Structure 1
């Protein structure tokens, strides 16, 4: 049997595991809707809810859709982008199915805890169209699985976290999943354990050579250590031998300092490989509407435009007879506007330049 490296390290790893994220605790949770009640893939998410009532469910749908848009785009600030918050209120329109799961865990005091999780699965094509219409960047698939070379020092010397200690890295691994990709750990062989000095020096060339047996040639190199009453994590992300990003995080909670490694790697990957949305650039577009014969027609048109998440501002330009010319400030191009019209739109058409629509 392989000797366990360092009693002090084991204690640290166990402590991190005991206070691992709720996602890890959920693995042993009680499930009320069958074993399939779990979120898998980019278009699924699970959120904690206070019950199974309609209001809680609708709020859960909104938060779950925000999570999925974040994973799809790789943008951790996706929910704060223009138009996204407004459309999250219509999240139920994108839901394919949902389940509930009851999770049992343990609090820091040892008392049992219970949480109701709402597991939501969305329609991929509908979510793709929404992301495009809202001008979100696209992080293409398939996505890489960088190898994490993480060393932890709790005061007794740095030790490598390999596959045998995967639970200790659970906050980091889970955060990567939340960001829409996965991270891998090295096998933790004796030769790899000996690489801990290079990790501590942030010798990325030595780490890259040791990582050549793994694919793809991407490494997330980090060291986590006690610092000023808390923890500090220093990170470097390397792609094909090129350093894409370096950052440091200090936090009283080791889990948060660790999970910041997944955020930094995701940000670097999206910056390098993300693509512009397909609905066109944000801007102001001239649009013509005809068939407006009364005040009620005008209010019906304006009410629909104002509730469209893709429309930021409406500026009247000219009115003549039954014709109304507007400048619409959009979060994406006219393609995004057309995608967001919906079956309940009170107008049809869109041909010509500027595009012309007729009120039904």
Structure 2
């Protein structure tokens, strides 16, 4: 039997994949002192279902005919929480929200039963560069209200969205003109710096400055695994363009990474990871593998030196693409008989 890494022999007893519960938690605004009801819970459920499927244009709760009677089997807990927000005037404020935690297995079963794909934890970090042009000139987006809208919408749709620091290192590699032109290649260095797997750019422009009827345009560009896409749209305010653009980006990522039940038998893969030096890195890799939506089971087969081999059971999916997300593992080579070789890349 191969010799285990010194830390691994005992650590195997305690390591377990960490759950990413936030994907299954919905929050909806409620009025102060108002009594919450099943309607708010169903709104929170709609948010979770949209986040997991990438379908933001319609209500899945309505399409699936879900009602108050279905909530007992789906809701784990609920509570009222206060969130710090930035109001439309750019001032700090608070918002009262109903936070509902849903049961992950029950939600997954609901999606499977209705032949809906599920976009789980395969969510690469997205680096968003954004510029805005109005009557005062052209600049990078940094207004507190717009930054809040970006963060809030990313949280709502379940995106790990990163905003650049725009420090001297960043600005030495990318300019306003690069972002306005949608030149995604100019942001490759910053994507590596921030550990992002996807680069997105947004160009907001005020076309009509009449205070009574302003009109804005938004030009989005993004690249997912070498494929470039985007969205051109317009509206009365930049906030709406930000929210709808982030929704469209999330839908594009869901279309690429969502997992459907293929109805076939699971397949076993050997995944060898080189470069693991301590229990922290081991736990990170094990947790990552175990949390992938395509993975049914994972166990350690052998460990020697800095190399650990896992048996990964996946339900009819080609797992290579998913394993490389997030930059944790870097593919070195493809062996025979479903054996993939990766290097720990952090």
Distance 1:196 1:182 in 2: 23
2:218 to 233, 243, 255: 233
2:56 to 76, 86, 111: 76
- Number of residue equivalences: 237
SS of the residue 2:259 aligns to = coil
SS of the residue 1:219 aligns to = strand
Provide Cα deviations, 1:171-219, integer angstroms capped at 9, x if missing partner. 1222122112221011211343352111111122223344332323311
1:275 to 249, 259, 266: 259
SS of the residue 1:70 aligns to = helix
Q: Cα gap change, 1:110/1:43 in structure 2, threshold over 3 Å: closer, same or farther?
A: closer
1:42 to 23, 28, 31: 23
2:141 to 161, 169, 172: 161
Matched, 1:150 2:130: yes
Which residue matches 1:15?
none
Matched, 1:262 2:242: no
1:132 to 75, 91, 112: 112
Matched, 1:170 2:155: no
Distance 1:259 1:102 in 2: 22
Distance 1:279 1:151 in 2: 45
CA shift, 1:147, in A, is 0.1
Contact 1:69 1:78 (8 Å CA) reproduced:
no
Distance 1:209 1:107 in 2: 34
TM-score if structure 1 supplies the norm length?
0.57
Deviates more, 1:148-157 or 1:75-84: 75-84
Provide Cα deviations, 1:226-246, integer angstroms capped at 9, x if missing partner. 112222110001124430x21
Contact 1:79 1:85 (8 Å CA) reproduced:
no
Question: Which of the pair has more CA radius of gyration?
Answer: 1
Provide Cα deviations, 1:264-298, integer angstroms capped at 9, x if missing partner. 21121112222224679xxxxxxxxxxxxxxxxxx
The answer for unaligned runs of 5 or more in structure 2 is 1-20, 209-213, 265-346
CA shift, 1:60, in A, is 1.3
RMSD value, Cα = 3.3
SS of the residue 1:99 aligns to = strand
Contact 1:208 1:241 (8 Å CA) reproduced:
no
Distance 1:147 1:107 in 2: 25
2:202 to 222, 235, 238: 222
- How do 1:290-329 residues align onto structure 2 when only pairs under 5 Å count? none
CA shift, 1:116, in A, is 4.4
Contact 1:73 1:136 (8 Å CA) reproduced:
yes
The answer for unaligned runs of 5 or more in structure 1 is 1-39, 281-360
CA shift, 1:112, in A, is 11
Distance 1:226 1:275 in 2: 39
Deviates more, 1:110-119 or 1:152-161: 110-119
TM-score if structure 2 supplies the norm length?
0.60
CA shift, 1:105, in A, is 7.5
Distance 1:120 1:106 in 2: 23
Distance 1:212 1:104 in 2: 31
Contact 1:99 1:119 (8 Å CA) reproduced:
yes
SS of the residue 1:222 aligns to = strand
SS of the residue 1:85 aligns to = coil
Contact 2:86 2:145 (8 Å CA) reproduced:
no
